[in-house]
Structure 1
């Protein structure tokens, strides 16, 4: 293994002090031109690279952002990461991607890792179990801004960037009523998540306000398998649903698994509408009608908020990425 080239090694080879090497590499005017040239030529020959971690500890000026997500396997978070990375590169930053696996203990460890590394800031989507965010908010004391994204805590006095959950749900409910659906199976995610609670309340409020005759059944599914099982059970009932509302891409995966196994056809046998990033609906024929909540747009919005915080914006804000209805052939 090639030994690491350090300032100490360069200083020993040239028989000068470490501080002289450091200043020579920075073109400090107190160092003679001859010494600067010797130091820089040797550093180039040895392929010396500054230790970014050591510099950030010394200057408290990191060029890395921490990104903590429950799961990076779904397209929403992949596009969110891609969006953040595009913006970070433009401004000379890089990303440290950490996955909590929806486990609160792992999430806490990831938060500590970011704090000890003194990253420039943290983007985090919390787990379904997360209620106490004190450790995350402590980072503000070290001038490390925290931007909560997508799955955010209920606590108000913090920076949040979310998709337009209420607007997206209203658009989906309106489309179901427009298509004259009378018996709707509405599948929502983990009941502990604020995103689930917001979308469920928006759905029930809209349905109550706009159409008393349409009936709907609400169930919760924490993962695709639970969603698939719920659909199978509903389709065996005496009064089968004529449409399904899927709260997210995770749930949509399970819904489609069950529908395809049952041999049901859109839109004749059953209707379907989902809130989605847009990738999954395009994989099926006919394409699934969905309300777009874009991870890519969310990433841009989150990064802009992070840069505002780094520029001195001290007050907490909640920013919303708009939702858009994208008609397909499933409803």
Structure 2
């Protein structure tokens, strides 16, 4: 039932004007308590809901936020979404969530849907091929802030919130060095992402500077399935004594191959990952990891959005620190 029909229905049943119904529902002081009570009780009985889109057009305000993620099957993004939904609810906002599948065309279609729905602000983790962010910056020029998170562009003229990617990679490298492992299979994600570039550069750079005799075999994969295939191949070919995984998806694939090959962890091969914390608990022994919390990133991203609404519009890059969590895999 549309808003106008519902208001008319209420006004007809109570024999009062539509404007009186509207003001009573808004608890206007000019309407008597008796009339307010009758209107609100009938509205509740009829499941009346105000038309949020019509209200945003009339008042030039919106309480709808957009979120575009690669996929919600990713535990990191699921925890990010949970935090974002909780914060949105607390502040009276509604969240519309869309998946891009790491496809730029779908990403732009999702962006169009966000514009059509007159969102107040957008959170997005960009796809690998997204190099030009002009379409997002135009939204900001039109008064709709865009917060890039996790997989962020290299551009400096935008708002970004991300994990401490360099710090996380170095923390993992330090743990491996202290374990005196000498041949490391380092599994990284899609090379197009700035997150991959940062983690790869920091991880390999640490060994070049502090343990040049340690061999680091860098392999780049774009999915869990690729991680399974590449890990099995590298384990057979090079027999590394340590495996580093830069994400949960890669860890899941690497561990599947290690288990398949019946390689003892940590006796024959040590394993450490950068993780949101859920996947490492699924293995025995539990995997040692450097925590990158999607929950904390979600809270920080929402806080940045609120601060933007409150006038802090200058571009910023905010970072969530990492934390070492000891397991039994190294």
Corresponding residue for 2:318?
319
Corresponding residue for 2:285?
286
Q: TM-score scaled to structure 2, two decimals?
A: 0.94
Q: How many residues align?
A: 329
Superposed CA deviations along residues 67-126 of structure 1, whole A, max 9, x for unmatched, are 110011121111111111221121122211111111111111111111221122111111
How far the C-alpha of 1:303 sits from its partner, in A, is 1.0
Q: TM-score scaled to structure 1, two decimals?
A: 0.93
1:297 aligns to what SS in structure 2? helix
How far the C-alpha of 1:286 sits from its partner, in A, is 0.4
Corresponding residue for 2:107?
107
Whole-Å Cα distance in 2 between the matches of residues 24 and 31 of structure 1?
6
Unaligned runs of 5+ in 2: none
User: Does 1:24 pair with 2:27?
Assistant: no
CA contact (8 A) 1:60 1:118 kept: no
Whole-Å Cα distance in 1 between the matches of residues 41 and 272 of structure 2?
63
How far the C-alpha of 1:176 sits from its partner, in A, is 1.0
CA contact (8 A) 1:80 1:295 kept: yes
How far the C-alpha of 1:12 sits from its partner, in A, is 4.5
User: Does 1:173 pair with 2:176?
Assistant: no
Whole-Å Cα distance in 2 between the matches of residues 268 and 42 of structure 1?
70
Whole-Å Cα distance in 1 between the matches of residues 149 and 33 of structure 2?
50
Whole-Å Cα distance in 1 between the matches of residues 263 and 36 of structure 2?
75
CA contact (8 A) 1:67 1:122 kept: yes
Whole-Å Cα distance in 1 between the matches of residues 164 and 121 of structure 2?
24
Alignment of 1:183-202 (within 5 A): 183-202=183-202
User: Does 1:138 pair with 2:138?
Assistant: yes
1:264 aligns to what SS in structure 2? coil
Superposed CA deviations along residues 198-245 of structure 1, whole A, max 9, x for unmatched, are 1111112111111111011111100011111111111221x4111111
Unaligned runs of 5+ in 1: none
Whole-Å Cα distance in 1 between the matches of residues 151 and 87 of structure 2?
21
How far the C-alpha of 1:324 sits from its partner, in A, is 1.0
Whole-Å Cα distance in 2 between the matches of residues 286 and 32 of structure 1?
68
Whole-Å Cα distance in 1 between the matches of residues 20 and 73 of structure 2?
48
How far the C-alpha of 1:46 sits from its partner, in A, is 2.3
